[in-house]
Amino acid sequence: MYVEKLIDLNNYPIHQPDSAQYLKIVKDVQLGLDQDGCSVLSNFLSKEGLDAIAKEAELRKSQAYYAESKLCNVYLANGNPNEAEDHPQNIFMERTNGFITADLLGKETYSHMLYHWRPLREFLATCLKKQELYIYEDPVSNMIVNLCKPGQTFNWHFDTNEFTITFLLKGAESGGHFEYVPNLRTKHDECFDEVKKVLNGDRSRAKRLNLNAGDLQFFLGRFSLHQVTHNTGNTDRLLLIQSFTEMPGIIGNPQRVKDLYGKTTEDHREKVSDRARSDRLLD
């Protein structure tokens, strides 16, 4: 199957950037991102594409990595001994999901083909108002599958990346909902008080998405707190995550990659790690 067949190009002609339909799709995505940092294109993957990519993930579930520590704060980092126990940096919550790492999805996979298909990358860049997007050179974490089995969860957190691109491959039978609080912090303010409110149960600003298998989601997760609720059904939830950078040759911080995904490679020891930040927010 050719890479073009993975996407429903009839409804999403991303290979025709001068078409009126393309321009309308971009406008709609940008409007959603401007309003609350999130936008979804329903059934973006074709049926054949969804089946093929989901099958690849299913075949690799037994190789998923689960972190030794089942607790994390919203910054996926260590606590702060200089702050009170109820400070957001010192509130630790359950994280039991696993990751199928990029090195398990080789060049022969449809997941890899889709990630490296330039028309998709150019479309994503246009939607995100970026001059250009580059493949994230991290061989472990540039393209991963988040696996949430029955009873598992990925609690409230912020992303390291400014934005994430995700494709839901398989939804949970029940539970496993994606929830987020739009624009909870800014580039210049951690907004600890607002974060603490959410962690204490305030849901006044929280939103829940009803995602379906095959949907493409744009999400500005660096500024919007988000979580995947407990999978309360009997089926796994599978989510393909693609990461891109605005500069070429960027690779992940070795310690962070090791903590989240359980491994590093020779590249992590040889290359300059981690992307340049446009802010000083906590990771």
Give per-residue pLDDT as tens, 110-144. Answer: 999 999 999 999 999 999 999 999 999 999 999 99
Distance (Å, whole) CA 174 – CA 197: 26
- Write the CATH number of the domain with boundaries 3-270: 2.60.120.620
Question: What are the backbone dihedrals phi and psi of residue 217, each rounded to the nearest 5 degrees, phi first?
Answer: -120, 130
Mean residue pLDDT of the chain comes to: 94
Q: How many CB atoms lie within 10 A of CB 66?
A: 15
More confident residue, 61 or 259: 61
Structure tokens at 178: 């994606």
Percent of residues, the chain, with pLDDT higher than 90 = 84
Q: Give per-residue pLDDT as tens, 142-201.
A: 999 999 999 999 999 999 889 999 999 999 999 999 999 999 999 999 999 999 999 999
Cα–Cα distance between 73 and 189 in angstroms, integer? 18
What confidence tier does 276 reach under pLDDT thresholds 50, 70, 90? low
239-261 pLDDT per residue, tens: 999 999 999 988 888 888 888 89
Burial of residue 69, with CB atoms counted within 10 A of its CB: 0-12 exposed, 13-18 middle, 19 or more buried: exposed
Domain boundaries, the chain: 3-270
